[in-house]
Every structure is written in structure tokens, then in C-alpha cells.
Structure 1
Amino acid sequence: MTPEIENAFTAIRGEHGADSVERVERMLEPSGAGERHPLQHGAKWILPGLSPTPWHDPRGHPELTPVVEALEAAHPAIKEELAAAWAEHREAFSDYEHYLTRQEDWQALYLYRDGGLVGESAGTVPTAYKVLDEFAVGTGKICPLLESHFSTLLPGAAIAPHCDLWNFSINLHLAVDIPDGCGITVAGETRSWVEGKCLLFDYSFEHEARNDGELPRTCLLVDLWHPETTIPERQALTVLISEIRRLMADG
């Protein structure tokens, strides 16, 4: 670990206790977190002690329930504003750049990125922006290492099976505009989005999605802290991953 990470971890231990970042430190050991589920094979980091559960009940975690309920309640306005943005402000959307690839048939409109809200989106999709700000950003539930965006799969688009980088954040989908012929598979279990409702899953497990229909499919994706992580662990992970990214950029 770099001096910056060591100093940050020492400060967190001083505030929260000697064992407060123990799981993060175990994750960094050569043996990693020990055994992992076979369908988490592609994830780089597995924080030990988190339930190895691919699909989560969106209302199963009290910390996250307010985010779910607020997004679902706002769905009619969110869908209307998204449709207007798609029709009138297509320049606000861009090819989605996953850490593995870039896809022209996967379009994204960002609300939160690089550790902060994307101010330009406040005027384009104001309801989603306001709900995200109030219930996820302002409450510290969003993972600042990742993002929130409208994810639009064009007809015929497919997201190949893959694992994301870690298990200490969790992916929330609000189904905004869902035509027939769309599905998502996580750890071998396929589900369909239900318009106006949320899905919640651990994307360290292998997952894929597709739009076999004739119209675009759009969900609002929000990367939230895994509810089984602690406040000091979230602080340590934010410092750790930010420093790793800085070193990779400098290198």
C-alpha cells in the first residue's frame, strides 16, 4: 500500500477502532478473500464477509428501501422526461464505455460520474436528478467510485456475459421504458424488468442483458454501496480505489 493509503487507514482506525478496516485489508492479501463463488470468477476484488447473493430483494435492505420507493414513485415523471430527452436532446447521450468495451448500441445519459452529480442533467432529466440527489447522493448511499446513468439498449443490442470489478457495491435498476423481448441474466437466473419497478443485484456475479425487441429499452442504473459494508469500510475503499486509479493514470 502507498503512504497515502496507509495514512488514511490509520486515521480511519483511530476514529472507528482497530478492526474497522480488517476486511478491506484481508481483501488486499495475496490470497485475496479466500474462496469465491465460481460465477464471481471475473471480479478483481471480493470483500470477504458479504453475502454471496446474486439477486437481492429491492426492499430487503432498510438502508436502500427509501431510494427504491422514491424512484418507483417518481417513475411516471422520469419516463416522460427521458422520452423528451431522447427525442429532443440526443446529444446528451453517448456510447456507453464499460471498463471492458465500448458499445454504440448501448447509450448512456449520465446523472452522476467521477464522484459528483452531472449538473447538465439537472435540466434534461430533472426528476431523476432530484431523486438521485436527495435519496442516494445526499444520504451517502451512492458509491462515489462509480456512477448513475440512464442505460438505453437499442433493438438487437446485447451485453456479453461479464463480471464487474468488485462486490462491495450493488447495482439498482429502475425499469423506465421496457418493450417486449428484453431480459437480464445474473448468475444463470434470467429475469425481466417490470416497468416502474426496481431490480437489485450483485454485479460481481456474471451477468448479461439483451434487447431482442423492436424498441429501445431504458433503465436508470444507480451504483450503491453494498448494504453489508460499514461506514469505515466505505471510507477505506474510496481511498484505496481512488489511489489505485491515480497510480494507474500516472503510470
Structure 2
Amino acid sequence: MSRISEGLEISAHGGIREVAKLQGPEVFFPGLTARPWWSGADFPWLAELEAAAPTIRQELLAFGLDTSPPLSHWGEHTAKGDWRALYLCTMGRPYAKNLQAFPLTLKILSALPGASNCDMTFFSSVQRGTHIAAHTGFTNAHLRCHLSLVATEGSRIRVADETRGWREGRAFVFDDTFEHEVWNEGDQRRTVLLFDFWHPELTPPEIEALTFMMSVWRRMYARRFWADQLSGQPS
């Protein structure tokens, strides 16, 4: 557990920038390979996920693309436009409200390592004319996958110094603790299935410890959120 202890020590004492180089997480764990973009060859299960894209897209279309409200808690990231999320999991916990509508999607995700219980899993829709400002993720203990379900020309994502577009039915993996931002200059929404999964170099005991810590962070976040709501201040 030395890597977990060292990471918490670094994070608690404000030493992340000294060791994380180009990354900007709030919680950092040393000794994990860090690169903005990861190769699909690193994750053999990506092929299975891409093969299931039509099934996932069909469930989403049956539920409705525009049923989710604009994001409010990440409002500071939406520099312009409209970013919406339909959650299946948040902070490692199932989002019960939407689960019944996506049984096949959840079954597909359950077969992938950590995809259904690591941190966040949601359908992310960026409406046309939207710019999500540059930002960084919470921790380098996970990586992030995008499976493109609705793609449009003129929609792109920059991670560090490389920009890529989405191809419908295709997936890619990146490290969201590197600065990233999104533009949709196309003529329709861009929708992906977004999910986090544990960094492949973490050991099972480390994942067990981080899963417990996620439950602690979730309770702390909930307390802060409701304290802000009751005080009338934005969270």
C-alpha cells in the first residue's frame, strides 16, 4: 500500500505539481504510466465495446437523447453552449434513476474491467455550438474511455497537445488528468458513452483501497453539495 500512502501524502501537502509534470489531478498516485492518449492495443476489450455500439445506441435512442438536463455542477467548464449528461454511475455508485432503461448497456459494461464501478459512467451529449473549456480530471488512478454513439463533423477534443475527432461506433482512451477541452462546431449534437476505469497498473489491493476511498470522497462531496444548497451558494 506504499503507493497509496505516498499519493495521499503528496496530495494532502500540495505537492502534486512538483511530481505530476503536465497532469493536474486533485489526488495523485505516483508510479503510474502517464500519457495523454493510450493506444487501443493496450485494451483488447475495446473491440468488444465497439462491436456493441449499435446496441448501446439503440437503448439510448429509445430512452431519448434530450431527456437529461444541462449540467449544472460542471457549469464552470461550459464556456459556451449546452453540455448534458445522462448518468449510469457517479463516484463509483450506480445511479438508480436510469438503470432500468439500460440493461444491455450495463451488461456490456459489467464485462469490462472497472467500467461499472470506478468513478463515472454517463452518456455525454454536447450540443452544437458548445465549447467545454480546458480542465483536468480528479485523479490519475483511472483512465477515461469515450465510445462514440452520435458523431458530427466539426466536433473534436484536445488532450494535452493533440486534437482528435470522434468516429461513430469507435472508442478511444485518454488520461483526463491532462488538460483537455471539447468543441462542437458541427450541425448536430455529439454523444458518447463516457466511463472511467482503473489504471491498468494498479494492483487488486490498491483498487480495493481506492474503492473504499471513493465512498469516503462521495460522502464528503455530498456534504459539501448540500451545505452549499442550504447556504444558497453554488456548489
- Give the TM-score of the pair, scaled to structure 2: 0.82
Q: How far does residue 199 in structure 1 lie from its aligned partner after superposition?
A: 0.8
The reply on whether 1:37 has 2:21 as its aligned counterpart is yes
Tell me the residue number matched to 1:8: none
Structure 2: runs of 5+ lacking an equivalent: 225-235
Q: Which of 52, 58, 63 in structure 1 is aligned with 2:40?
A: 58
Q: Which of 127, 149, 154 in structure 1 is aligned with 2:122?
A: 149
Tell me the residue number matched to 1:170: 143
Partners of 2:206 and 2:74 in 1: CA distance: 24
Partners of 1:249 and 1:59 in 2: CA distance: 38
Partners of 1:96 and 1:231 in 2: CA distance: 33
Matches within 5 A, 1:71-220: 71-86=49-64, 90-91=66-67, 93-98=68-73, 101=76, 105-132=82-109, 134-136=110-112, 141-142=114-115, 144=117, 146-220=119-193
Q: Secondary structure at the match of 1:159?
A: strand
Partners of 2:177 and 2:4 in 1: CA distance: 16
Q: How far does residue 193 in structure 1 lie from its aligned partner after superposition?
A: 1.1
Identity of aligned residues (%): 35
Q: How far does residue 222 in structure 1 lie from its aligned partner after superposition?
A: 1.0
Q: How far does residue 99 in structure 1 lie from its aligned partner after superposition?
A: 5.1
Structure of higher CA gyration radius: 1
- Give the TM-score of the pair, scaled to structure 1: 0.77
The question of whether the paired residues in 2 share the 8 Å contact of 1:162 and 1:206 is answered with yes
Partners of 1:78 and 1:111 in 2: CA distance: 13
Q: Secondary structure at the match of 1:46?
A: coil
Q: What letter matches 1:135 in structure 2? A: A
Q: How far does residue 80 in structure 1 lie from its aligned partner after superposition?
A: 2.7
> 1:197 and 1:25, CA in 2 relative to 1: closer, same or farther beyond 3 A?
same
Q: What letter matches 1:56 in structure 2? A: W
Partners of 1:98 and 1:58 in 2: CA distance: 31
Deviation by residue 1:157-182 (Cα, 9 ceiling, x = unmatched): 11100111110011011011101110
Q: How far does residue 102 in structure 1 lie from its aligned partner after superposition?
A: 7.1
How many equivalent residue pairs? 218
Q: How far does residue 206 in structure 1 lie from its aligned partner after superposition?
A: 0.4
The question of whether the paired residues in 2 share the 8 Å contact of 1:143 and 1:225 is answered with no
The question of whether the paired residues in 2 share the 8 Å contact of 1:32 and 1:45 is answered with no
Partners of 1:218 and 1:249 in 2: CA distance: 27
Q: What letter matches 2:69 in structure 1? A: S
Partners of 1:145 and 1:121 in 2: CA distance: 18
> 1:182 and 1:23, CA in 2 relative to 1: closer, same or farther beyond 3 A?
same
Structure 1: runs of 5+ lacking an equivalent: 1-20
